[in-house]
C-alpha cells in the first residue's frame, strides 16, 4: 500500500487530533500544516513534528505532493478554505459545519461532485464500534419499525458566565452555537443509526447567560493567577446555550432531543435512544463501550464492547479485544481510514459521512432556527 501525503489547516484543539489519528493509520504521512501566520505555523510544526509549515494555506495547496487536506479552521473560514482545497484538486476532509449557510454547503457538494474528489465531514461519533453495532441491528430488522428516537447532548464547558471561547462569537462561529456545534452531531448519529432522515422540526432555543465576561487579554496570559473583575469586559451573547427540538423522521416517526452547554457535571454526554417495535437500543458516549438493549417480555441486555460479540459489520471498527476500551480518538481514525482507502481507489472502502451529510446538517440547523422564530413546525429544505 502506497503512502498518501496529507496536510492540516488549523492546529487548535481538533487539528492535532486529526494528526494523531492519521498517524495511527500507518499509510498516511502528515507532510505539512498551515496556520494564520508563519511564526505560528513554525511553532506548531515543531510541536507536532511535521516537516513543512506554511503561514498561508494557499501556498500549501500549491504543493503537488499533498493529496488530501484537512480543514480544521474556525467555522467562518470553512467555506472559503474548503472551496480552495477542491479547486486545487485536493481531496478534502472538513470539520463541521461544512460551511455556515446551506447555499454555501450546496455549492461545495456540487463542486466536489464536479471535480470527482473524495470529500468527508468529521462526524466521528458514527465510528464507535457499538454505534456501528446499533446501526447493524437496525439494518438487520432486529429493532423493528422505528417508533421514536430521543436523547440529549450535554456539556458544562460554558457553565459559568466567565467561560469564554470564539464559539460564542456569531461572526466566527455562526448564528447557532449549541445546536450547530453539538446538536448537529446528535442528529447525524441518530439518522445514521436509524437509517431515517429528519424532515421537519419545531425548536425552542434559549440563552442562559445573556451577558458573559470576556477576558480582556488572551486567557493564557492569566495562567497561574486568579482573574479579577478588572480583567473582564461584559459582552452580550446572541447564540443559544440550550435548545430542545421536536422532530419528524421521513417514515412519520417522531422524536425529540435537547442540547445544552451549561449542564453542570456533563462533560461530553451524547445520549441517544431508539425505540422500535421489537426492542429499544440506547447509547451514552461518555460510556462508549456499552450498548443497552431493552425488551418488554424478557430481561434487558447490556452489551460490552468485544469484537467477538459484535455484528460482522461492526467488528472491523473495534481494534482491541474485549475489556480494552475504545473511545473518542478511535472515531476519527476509523472515519479517516474509510476515506483514505477511497482515495486509494479501494473498491471495498467502507462508507463515511460526505459533504452531502454536512449539507444536511446545516439545513437542519437552519430549519430549527427558523422554527424557533415562528414557533411553528418547519420543513428541512
pLDDT tens for 320-330 read 999 999 999 99
Q: How many CB atoms lie within 10 A of CB 72?
A: 26
pLDDT at residue number 276: 98
Cα of first residue to Cα of last residue in the chain, in angstroms, is 42
Whether 339 shows a pLDDT value over 50: the answer reads yes
Displacement of CA 168 from its chain's centroid (Å): 18
| pLDDT range class, residue 231, cuts 50, 70, 90 | confident
Displacement of CA 115 from its chain's centroid (Å): 24
Rounded CA separation 316/153 (Å)? 27
Grid cell at residue 76? 467562518
DSSP states along 50-98:
-SEEESSHHHHHT-TT--EEEE-S-GGGHHHHHHHHHHTT-EEEEPSSS
Q: What is the rounded average pLDDT of the residues 180-208?
A: 98
Rounded CA separation 106/360 (Å)? 9
Q: What is the rounded average pLDDT of the residues 347-365?
A: 96
Q: Which domains does the chain have, with CATH numbers?
A: 4-117 (3.40.50.720), 126-374 (3.30.360.10)
Rounded CA separation 76/343 (Å)? 27
| pLDDT range class, residue 221, cuts 50, 70, 90 | very low
Which three-class secondary structure state does DSSP give residue 57? Answer: helix
Grid cell at residue 112? 466536489
Strands lying side by side in the sheet with 290-294: 301-304, 290-294, 280-284, 269-276, 146-154, 254-260, 242-249, 198-206, 378-379
Q: Are strands 301-304 and 378-379 parallel, antiparallel or unpaired?
A: unpaired
Rounded CA separation 63/92 (Å)? 15
pLDDT tens for 243-276 read 999 999 999 999 999 999 999 999 999 999 999 9
pLDDT tens for 21-52 read 999 999 999 999 999 999 999 999 999 999 99
Which three-class secondary structure state does DSSP give residue 269? Answer: strand
pLDDT at residue number 227: 74
Whether 97 shows a pLDDT value over 80: the answer reads yes
Amino acid at each position: 500500500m502506497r503512502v498518501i501525503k496529507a496536510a492540516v489547516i488549523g492546529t487548535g484543539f481538533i487539528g492535532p487530533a486529526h494528526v494523531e489519528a492519521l498517524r495511527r493509520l500507518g499509510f498516511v504521512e502528515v507532510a505539512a500544516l498551515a496556520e494564520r501566520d508563519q511564526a505560528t505555523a513554525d511553532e506548531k510544526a515543531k510541536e507536532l513534528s511535521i516537516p513543512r509549515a506554511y503561514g498561508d494555506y494557499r501556498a500549501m495547496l500549491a504543493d503537488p505532493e499533498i493529496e488530501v487536506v484537512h480543514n480544521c479552521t474556525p467555522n467562518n473560514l470553512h467555506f472559503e478554505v474548503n472551496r480552495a482545497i477542491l479547486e486545487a484538486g485536493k481531496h478534502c476532509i472538513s470539520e463541521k459545519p461544512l460551511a455556515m449557510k446551506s447555499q454555501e454547503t450546496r455549492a461545495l457538494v456540487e463542486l466536489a461532485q464536479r471535480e470527482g474528489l473524495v470529500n468527508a465531514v468529521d462526524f466521528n461519533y458514527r465510528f464507535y464500534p457499538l454505534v456501528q453495532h446499533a446501526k447493524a441491528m437496525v439494518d438487520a430488522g432486529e429493532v423493528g419499525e422505528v417508533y421514536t428516537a430521543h436523547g440529549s447532548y450535554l456539556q458544562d464547558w460554558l457553565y459559568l458566565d466567565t467561560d469564554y471561547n470564539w464559539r460564542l462569537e456569531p461572526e466566527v462561529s455562526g448564528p447557532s452555537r449549541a445546536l450547530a456545534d453539538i446538536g448537529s452531531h446528535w442528529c447525524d448519529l441518530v439518522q445514521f443509526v436509524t437509517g431515517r432522515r429528519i424532515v421537519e422540526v419545531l425548536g425552542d432555543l434559549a440563552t442562559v447567560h445573556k451577558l458573559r465576561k470576556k477576558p480582556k487579554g488572551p486567557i493564557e496570559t492569566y495562567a497561574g493567577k486568579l482573574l479579577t473583575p478588572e480583567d473582564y469586559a461584559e459582552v452580550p451573547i446572541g447564540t443559544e446555550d440550550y435548545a430542545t427540538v421536536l422532530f419528524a423522521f421521513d417514515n412519520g416517526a417522531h422524536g425529540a432531543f435537547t442540547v445544552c452547554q451549561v449542564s453542570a457535571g456533563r462533560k461530553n454526554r451524547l445520549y441517544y435512544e431508539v425505540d422500535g417495535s421489537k426492542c429499544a437500543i440506547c447509547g451514552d458516549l461518555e460510556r462508549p463501550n456499552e450498548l443497552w438493549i431493552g425488551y418488554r417480555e424478557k430481561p434487558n441486555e447490556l452489551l460490552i464492547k468485544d469484537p467477538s460479540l459484535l455484528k460482522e459489520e461492526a467488528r472491523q471498527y473495534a481494534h482491541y479485544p474485549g475489556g480494552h476500551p475504545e473511545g473518542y480518538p478511535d472515531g476519527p481514525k476509523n472515519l479517516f481510514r474509510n476515506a483514505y482507502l477511497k482515495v486509494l481507489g479501494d473498491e471495498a472502502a467502507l462508507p463515511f459521512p460526505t459533504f452531502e451529510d454536512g449539507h444536511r446538517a446545516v439545513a437542519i440547523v437552519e430549519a430549527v432556527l427558523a422554527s424557533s422564530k415562528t414557533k411553528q413546525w418547519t420543513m428541512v429544505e
